[in-house]
Amino acid sequence: MHFQSLLAVLSLLFVAVIGDGISYPRPNIYVKSPHFSLKVNGEYMYTVNYAKYDYVHFSMDEDVDNEIRIRAVTEDKINSYRISPENVPIKARVEGNELIFTIKKAHYLIIKINKKKEFVVMADPKETNVPSPRGSGIFNVLDHGADNTGARVTRGVQAALDAAGRQPGSIVYVPAGLYLVGNLVIPTKTSLYLAGGSVLRFTGNQADYKQLFSKSDFPGHFGTWWIQTAFDSTDIKVFGRGTIDGNGKNSRTNKIIADLLVPAGTTRFRADGILIRDASFWAVPIIQCEDVVLTNIKILDRFDVTQNDGIDVMESKGVKVRRAIAIANDDSFSTKTWPYKTGTTVPYPYPPQPQSDVLFEDCFAWTLCYGFKVGQGVHEVQDNVRFRNSVVYYGGVGIGIHHLFGTSVAKNILFENIIIEDLGGSPGGRATWLAIHIAEGGRGVGPVEDVTVRNIYARKIGKRDGYIQGFSADAMVKRVTLSDVFIYKNTTAATSLGAMNIKQTQFSEGIQIRNSR
Which range among 188-197, 346-355, 357-366, 479-488 shows the weakest confidence by mean pLDDT?
346-355
Which range among 89-103, 327-341, 471-485 shows the weakest confidence by mean pLDDT?
327-341
* Cβ–Cβ under 8 Å, residues 307 and 285: no
CA 41 distance to own-chain centroid: 28
Q: Which pLDDT belongs to residue 214? A: 85
Which range among 165-174, 268-277, 417-426 shows the weakest confidence by mean pLDDT?
417-426
Cα dist. 400→37, 84, 311, 372, 469 in Å? 37, 22, 15, 7, 11
How far is it, in rounded angstroms, from Cα 308 to Cα 278? 8
**Is the alpha carbon torsion for 337, 338, 339, 345 positive or negative?**
negative
Judge whether residue 9 has pLDDT over 50: no
The continuous run of DSSP H or E covering 37 comes out as: strand 36-40
* Cβ–Cβ under 8 Å, residues 451 and 436: yes
Which of 73, 57, 67, 77 shows the shortest CA–CA distance to 15? 57
Cα dist. 271→108, 207, 256 in Å? 17, 29, 25
Judge whether residue 11 has pLDDT over 50: no
For residue 1, what pLDDT band results from cuts at 50, 70 and 90? very low
Judge whether residue 160 has pLDDT over 80: yes
pTM of the model: 0.94
Q: Which pLDDT belongs to residue 20? A: 73
Residue 111's CB: how many other CB atoms inside 10 A?
24
How far is it, in rounded angstroms, from Cα 51 to Cα 416? 32
For residue 442, what pLDDT band results from cuts at 50, 70 and 90? confident
Judge whether residue 430 has pLDDT over 80: no
Q: What are phi and psi of 161, to 5 degrees?
A: -65, -40
Judge whether residue 358 has pLDDT over 90: yes
Which range among 237-241, 331-335, 439-443 shows the weakest confidence by mean pLDDT?
439-443
Q: How far apart are the first and last CA of the chain?
A: 69
Judge whether residue 285 has pLDDT over 80: yes
Mean pLDDT, to the nearest integer, of 49-76?
97
CA 51 distance to own-chain centroid: 17
How far is it, in rounded angstroms, from Cα 439 to Cα 472? 9
Which range among 262-266, 326-330, 335-339, 474-478 shows the weakest confidence by mean pLDDT?
335-339
What are the strands of the beta sheet with 36-40, ordered from one edge? 43-44, 36-40, 66-72, 98-103, 93-95
Residue 512's CB: how many other CB atoms inside 10 A?
9
Q: Which pLDDT belongs to residue 14? A: 43
Q: Which pLDDT belongs to residue 443? A: 84
The single-letter code of the amino acid at 396 is G
* Cβ–Cβ under 8 Å, residues 67 and 102: yes
Considering the chain, what is the average pLDDT of its residues?
93
What 3 state SS string does 47-70 have? Answer: EECCCCEEEEEEEECCCCCEEEEE
For residue 19, what pLDDT band results from cuts at 50, 70 and 90? very low
Give 105-124 pLDDT, tens digit per residue: 999 999 999 999 999 999 99
How far is it, in rounded angstroms, from Cα 58 to Cα 109? 12
% of residues, the chain, pLDDT over 90: 88
DSSP-assigned letter for residue 428:
G
Q: What are phi and psi of 363, to 5 degrees?
A: -115, 155
Mean pLDDT, to the nearest integer, of 471-488?
97
* Cβ–Cβ under 8 Å, residues 446 and 404: no
Q: How many CA atoms does the CB half-sphere of 434 hold within 13 Å?
A: 33
Mean pLDDT, to the nearest integer, of 69-79?
97
The single-letter code of the amino acid at 309 is D
Q: Which pLDDT belongs to residue 394? A: 97
How far is it, in rounded angstroms, from Cα 231 to Cα 301? 27
Q: Which pLDDT belongs to residue 215? A: 85
What 3 state SS string does 95-143 have? Answer: ECCEEEEEECCCCEEEEEECCCCEEEEEEEECCCCCCCCCCCCEEEHHH
Cα dist. 233→172, 188, 229, 265 in Å? 16, 5, 7, 7
Q: Which pLDDT belongs to residue 427? A: 58
Q: Which pLDDT belongs to residue 139? A: 98
How far is it, in rounded angstroms, from Cα 174 to Cα 148? 9
Determine how β-strand 108-113 pairs with β-strand 81-84: antiparallel
Which range among 33-47, 150-164, 266-280, 332-346 shows the weakest confidence by mean pLDDT?
332-346
Judge whether residue 80 has pLDDT over 60: yes
Kindly give the residue spans of alpha helices, DSSP state H, lying in 323-419. none
For residue 240, what pLDDT band results from cuts at 50, 70 and 90? very high
Which range among 19-33, 58-72, 151-165, 383-397 shows the weakest confidence by mean pLDDT?
19-33
Long-range CB contacts (< 8 A, 24+ apart) of 425-430? 425/367, 425/368, 425/369, 425/394, 425/395, 425/396, 425/397, 426/396, 426/463, 426/464, 427/368, 427/369, 427/370, 427/396, 427/397, 428/402, 429/464, 430/396, 430/397, 430/400, 430/462, 430/464, 430/467
